[in-house]
Amino acid sequence: MKRTQIELADGRELIYFDERDDAVRDQPDRRELPPPPPASQLRYDPLTDEWVAVAVHRQTRTFLPPADQCPLCPSTASRLTEIPAPGYDVAVFENRFPSLSQRVADEPAEITPFTPVRPGRGRCEVVCFTDDHNASFAGLSPRRVRSVLDALADRTTALGELPGVEQIFPFENRGVEIGVTLHHPHGQIYAYPFVTPRTRTMLAAARRHAERTGGNLYADVLAAERAAGERIVASNEHWTAYVPAAARWPFEVHVAPHRPVPDIPALTDAERDAFGPLYLDVLRRFDGLFDLPMPYIAAWHQAPVHVDRELGHLHLQLFTIRRAKDKLKYLAGSESGMGVFINDIAPERAAELLRAA
């Protein structure tokens, strides 16, 4: 795969990942753009031991433009976009409206004695899977999925070397029901300056398990699911897709490599090649459940950059808020107020429906 890095008109980086070695990416960004915004402000919540990002500039970000105004489509002679080239395979660029960035301004040390403040140092990137505005990830070829995976490996490594970055989170949001602001098929990567609350909870559980048994918690759970078989949706030599026994969402699938690895860069060529066919199969089953495009979030769980890497086990969590053809799962009182999920569909039934889709 050919990698070409250019600079956009406002100084942000864009990287092309091409499947052809003879691809030429010398088109300049001819737009006139204002400087990128400074980093957001992080405020510490002492009641939950969590950081909250306040990014007021994101209120003005682009919201569901028509296809002929999409900023992720290739540029043309009459319309300039975030992608200067007239076509591309996979393109990754620094988000114009980032929640986190390296453009740090001075901040006050605290708001109250209990609420320290610090700059939202990190990085947010957009990952364009294809130049076809009307495509979807489920419609990509296995080769293109491999290209996307290689791009995510490249960015995970590069972002992990930035000052202050502690965790790399690649993800895709699909569907207006989920809250996407652009229809063009794309994902994002967040480089956080802390280990996220969900990951801290998972690592704490993994640490207790390791101290008690000497094993890797996720690897042991995966082995138990493969042995039980009831919630397996699909599998191949290197990966298994299964519905967790304690799934929170109506339809939730983990896609995990059989070999415990901390992150995407650690996958072998064979593991990267085997991921695409299996994941595409699962995505198409999601769309086939109700014969309509399924809104979903696909979230890569990777080990932190600097700590507890031996406790991690890379996996992709895919879930939807759609619980029936005409019904959505809302995070209401128990989920939003207390963080206790109530699932309307038994995980075993969800796996059965996905296998049949």
Which segments are annotated as binding site for Zn(2+)? 70, 73, 133, 184
Pairing of strands 115-119, 90-94: unpaired
- The Cβ of residue 56 has, within 10 Å, a number of other Cβ atoms equal to 9
Name the β-bridge partners of 110.
Answer: 116
* 186 part of the active site: yes
Catalytic residue among 186, 254, 301, 313: 186
Collapsing DSSP states into helix, strand and coil, what is residue 101? Answer: strand
Residue 21 token pair: 């070695």
Which secondary structure element, helix H or strand E, spans residue 99, and what is its range? none
Long-range contacts of residues 177-183, Cβ cutoff 8 Å, at least 24 apart = 177/295, 177/321, 177/322, 177/328, 178/295, 178/296, 178/297, 178/321, 180/64, 181/61, 181/62, 181/63, 181/64, 182/62, 182/64, 182/65, 182/70, 182/71, 182/72, 183/64, 183/67, 183/70, 183/133
> Which residues neighbour 145 within 8 Å (Cβ) at sequence distance 6 or greater?
137, 275, 276, 279, 280
Q: Are 85 and 74 in contact (CB under 8 A)?
A: yes
How many residues are there in the chain? 357
CA-CA distance, 168 to 151, in Å (whole number)?
Answer: 13
Query: Amino acid identity of 233?
Result: V
CA-CA distance, 256 to 248, in Å (whole number)?
Answer: 18
Which secondary structure element, helix H or strand E, spans residue 349, and what is its range? helix 347-356
Binding-site residue set: 70, 73, 133, 184
Positions marked catalytic: 186
